[in-house]
A and B are shown apart, each in its own frame.
Chain A
Amino acid sequence: MAKETIIEVNDLKKHYGHVKAVDGISFKVLKGEVFTLLGPNGAGKTTTLEVLEGLKTHDSGKITMFGKTLRTNVPLEIRERIGVVLQENNFIEHLTVTEILKMFKNLYPSPLKVNEVLKIVSLQEKRKARVEKLSGGQRQRLAIGTALIGNPDLIFMDEPTTGLDPQARRNIWDMIEKFKNSGKTIFLTTHYMEEAEMLSDYVYIMDHGKIIANGTPRELVSSFGEEKIIEARVNTNNGKISELKEILGDIEIEESKVIFEASDLPKTMKSFLDWAEANSVEVEDLSVRQSNLEDVFLKLTGRSLRD
């Protein structure tokens, strides 16, 4: 049975003067899936999200959410079904975690219990802490708590793990997995390739306001790079590397690192090692890996996601 479409966007545009922040994008978000907009900073992900959240109006295009077409803003009855985690999360100062959650709880028709949410976001011990005393990770978890307390069908998360340490990031990933398992739809933006790969059911890659590719992470990787990727640190000058380019074709160079695709792994590896030996180049940290979304993005735009 086909999954229900929760959001459908057709040819959405949002321009700021000459800047085309969102330049005619279309996509569908299906119920119960983790949907990801992947792209570098400034690609137009946040603007897209802000239009869907009702924070900004769009210039043109059609947006349908929960079967209703949005005109200028998002009506209350739709906002009641949405939870939002913004990129920057601050709360009314001097209030405690519980007080903030209670405040948001009162705005929704069929909310979860505060204690329940505290448990999900692991903030039981901080329930009486004032919001300004929370760490970055705790603040982010509270933000997720406020998104969750209305018991929404759809959760928007704008770069939910940016600026968090690996442990905190891992916690948030676990939470997103749990939401998905409980049947919620999640709309994620991120510029972390591993995050998109790990969490998403479906990914749209966005750059300069346009969608440049879409598919499941597996589809994207296989359609743009079935090949294995070889990475190695070499101790040599650029002249010799250009020689290597002649042998192997397309090579990415990041500082002293060379990255290249190997459609035929043993053959390519042999040519590389032969070249190193012939030129007395030291090779360190040699590794072979499956290509990932980062490589897909690199291939599509010629730039790295983190640029």
Chain B
Amino acid sequence: MYVQDLLNGLTSAGIYILIALGLTLILGIVGIVQMAHGEMYMVGAYVVYLFSMSMGLPYFAALVISIILVGCLGIVVERLFLRRFRGDVEGAIICTTAFILVLQTAVKGIAGPSYKDIASPVEGVVEVFGARLSWEEIVIILVSAVLVVALLVSIKWTKPGQAMMAISEDLVGATLQGINVDRLSSIAMFIGCGLAAAAGGLIGATFSLEPFMGGFALTQGITVIILGGLGSVPGAIIGGLILGLIDGLLTPQVSPTIASIVGLVIVILILLFRPKGLLGYE
């Protein structure tokens, strides 16, 4: 019984981690609060729908295309607008709130306000330790695990990855070392938006799509990064696991609303004792 809830929680955690990693990278490197991150997730899901359902491509090909396209959208947005709002919290919130409106209205106008469904790539249910787990959930867990590991590896072992960490630790210091902050901001925006698109495409196979699905993703993503510590990559992973497990283990016992209240209150309490989040630093 608990195994079932645990695995459901891991599925949510996978999605939360993908969203939160993007948010935290953008916050740490581009230096802005991306309120339209949920909309990147929504657009990602719709692009997967477009390529897999309307054009008949295989699901995973559509997912890859979606990651790349939404990542490029992120680069364009960063290049044109976000760059000038580094460190300006209010300005960034306003600017990205405008993107929320634009993207929601555009998707609603193009795809219509009705619910859309993406056919799941693999059907069926497997039994794991007495729990019944659908292949869709396994795909979510596996793909998000692969993406997270790939991100961790590329941060640890590649030069741009190390440069990103340097920027998120000390912007001025990184600039003085000759790191091209603008170029890395673009890369971070590409990765962040791509991860959001991946999360959207994965969730699209289990739940229906609608133009306003991004609000939920944004609030969960922000909760996770606040919990883990802003700009911290391991923090986002741990925060996502905690929130996902709260979701998975608590929702069957009480109503989803109470589970959300408990989640938020836990985050507020943790912040009161650790004002920079679990793994945050000054």
Q: Do A and B come from one complex?
A: no
Chain B contacts to A: CB under 8 angstroms: none
Interface of A toward B, CB cutoff 8 Å: none
